[in-house]
Amino acid sequence: MKRILKIAAVMTAAVLTLMTGCEKTTIDAKYGDKKTKFAEVPITELSLTDPGEGNTVSQEIPASDATVTGGARLAGSMITGMNAEGDSITYSLSIPAAGWYDLTFEQSGDATRVNNVSVDGYRQAEITPANPTAQFIYLGSGDHQITLTPSWGWVDFGKLTATPTDFDFADAYNVTAELSNPNADEHTKMLYKFLKDIYGRYTLSGQYADSGRESDEYKAILDATGDSFAVLGLDMGEYVHGAQANGAEVHSVEYAHDWYYNAGGIVQVCVHWISPVAYVTDGCRWWESFRAEASDIDLDLVMNGGDDRCLEKLDDDIEDLAEQLNLLQEDGVPILFRPLHEASGGWFWWGECEPESYIKFWRHLYDKLTNEYGINNLIWVWNGQSADWYPGDDVVDIVAWDIYPGEREYGSASPIFAECAQCPGENKLTALAETGCVPDPDLTWRDNARWLLWGTWSGEFCVQNGVLSEQYTDKEMLKKAYASEHTLTLSELPNLRKYE
């Protein structure tokens, strides 16, 4: 987490009254007959947005035609000075027919400088001089405002080129891959089948809440919407030696068990992996040692045989995780397991390395848990944030991204969806594992960015001082997302322990 932005028709639904007293549509009612299999709704019948036939002409908008604010100013053929809050550059596009476009911005400056692209008021992508194109932007017919704002700034901008692009969203939802672990237990296979069956048809609502149904997040969302999230996000990072040696108390296993068995929901787990005691940077606090600046772990050195002591300590941690995961396995609780997340950002110790070292460590972790410890209740969620860090189709089941776009930014992030979907060699489920804002379901469906799930982060992204916070997602958008025919909430899940 803590990423700066950094960044249909559905079958006639029956309505029933839930324990909460609110009226909602059950997933079975959405599909009509309770015995109907989700897989019987063919991919070809998905109501995808029609891209039209007229989006075949590229357009170029020179810098001289753009509108600038703040310190941004035209200097020759380029715009300079977009470096601070309040600075912006806006290009106007008139699109003859709806479709997907690649937006390429001429740039001059440090190749690593990140800046933000918004479309009609919603932030959609990041660009750098090295990667100047925001891909797969859905634009309806008519006029659009494409706005650049500084993340880092200090880049000069020239013309905008809008080029029609082609991405087969329908094919992206056609996931035929089996679980990476052929020995996955029956509960895990049932959950995975359910996920494949709903993919492209519904999005699962999710929320990180460290205390499960005892959390402020759970209570606030239930109070605001009359329902709850389908996917509970938990953290297992403090089960490892470095945290336990310092007296950490963590109850994620108990909350996971309660959520699956008593609430009937789905569990997603991340691992903010606390460093072994000897690898906490001097002067830093142990509970921050999952961060690169507070950890002395050199994963390049470790995975190339240069620090066997550290690898031994990390293997001890893996054994700790296996022990806890096995408790859930014994109780038949399947887990969406998302370790080593956001690696390419470099802000965690498992990402302060070369991609090759990360990939080696991912595969090492997978091998230890799956083959050595026999942990067969995991659906492996890779969340490296860059295709260069992808460890391979044979050790990944779901490809995910984390997006923190800012306050009340409800866009679909269709460019990220398409980028994410293209990381694996074969089609995989694509998820928005963490987000700072609940996306507008109307926009995700319009743009065909039908994430398997979204998982809003905890704390200020949901609640403040024990009550619902509207800083990132206002209450009306939260209610809209939970009530949407495109969203599955906790009350709408089938019995996943008996799913066929």
Which CATH number belongs to the domain containing residue 334 in this structure? 3.20.20.80
Answer whether residue 1 shows pLDDT above 70: no
- Of the residues 117, 139, 166, which one is the last residue of a structural domain? 166
Answer whether residue 268 shows pLDDT above 80: yes
The answer to whether residues 246 and 286 touch, using CB atoms and an 8 Å cutoff, is yes
**Tokens representing residue 40 in the block:** 């019987």
CATH number, domain at 67? 2.60.120.260
In a domain, residue 22? The reply is yes
Q: How many domains does the structure of the chain reveal? A: 2
Alpha-carbon 192 to chain mean position:
18
Kindly report, residue by residue over 92-147, the tens digit of the pLDDT: 999 888 788 999 999 999 998 999 999 998 888 889 999 999 988 888 889 999 99
Kindly report, residue by residue over 321-334, the tens digit of the pLDDT: 999 999 999 999 99
Shared-domain flag, residues 453 and 429: yes
Phi-psi region of 237 (alpha: psi -120 to 50; beta: other; left: phi over 0): alpha
pLDDT band at 200 (very low <50, low <70, confident <90, very high): very high
Shared-domain flag, residues 315 and 434: yes
Question: Which strand ranges, in their side-by-side order, compose the sheet holding 122-127?
Answer: 67-69, 88-95, 142-150, 115-119, 122-127
In a domain, residue 299? The reply is yes
- Of the residues 166, 187, 207, which one is the last residue of a structural domain? 166
Shared-domain flag, residues 146 and 290: no
Shared-domain flag, residues 333 and 469: yes
- Of the residues 110, 131, 166, which one is the last residue of a structural domain? 166
In a domain, residue 4? The reply is no
* Residues recorded for the chain: 500
Residue bearing tokens 């109780």 = 331
The answer to whether residues 374 and 368 touch, using CB atoms and an 8 Å cutoff, is no
Shared-domain flag, residues 162 and 184: no
In a domain, residue 52? The reply is no
Shared-domain flag, residues 89 and 236: no
Kindly report, residue by residue over 159-190, the tens digit of the pLDDT: 999 998 877 777 889 999 999 999 999 999 99
Question: What is the pLDDT, as a whole number, of residue 56?
Answer: 62
Shared-domain flag, residues 37 and 106: no
| Other beta carbons less than 10 A from residue 245's beta carbon | 12
In a domain, residue 351? The reply is yes
pLDDT band at 251 (very low <50, low <70, confident <90, very high): very high
Return all residues near 287 (Cβ < 8 A) that are at least 6 apart.
238, 243, 246, 248, 274
* Orientation angle between helical segments 216-225 and 475-483, nearest 10 degrees: 80
Of 352, 409, 419, 434, the catalytic one is: 434
Shared-domain flag, residues 69 and 98: yes
Shared-domain flag, residues 20 and 67: no
485 given a catalytic annotation: no
Model pTM score: 0.83
In a domain, residue 1? The reply is no
Shared-domain flag, residues 398 and 434: yes
Question: What is the pLDDT, as a whole number, of residue 350?
Answer: 98
Shared-domain flag, residues 125 and 254: no
The answer to whether residues 334 and 377 touch, using CB atoms and an 8 Å cutoff, is yes
Answer whether residue 20 shows pLDDT above 50: no
Of 238, 342, 352, 409, the catalytic one is: 342
Shared-domain flag, residues 138 and 194: no
In a domain, residue 428? The reply is yes
- Section 20-49 average pLDDT: 43
Answer whether residue 363 shows pLDDT above 90: yes
40 given a catalytic annotation: no
**Tokens representing residue 262 in the block:** 């008593």
Of 76-85, 230-239, 411-420, 452-461, the one with minimum mean pLDDT is 411-420
Return all residues near 296 (Cβ < 8 A) that are at least 6 apart.
275, 279, 280, 281
Q: 362 lies in which domain range?
A: 16-46+173-498
In a domain, residue 7? The reply is no
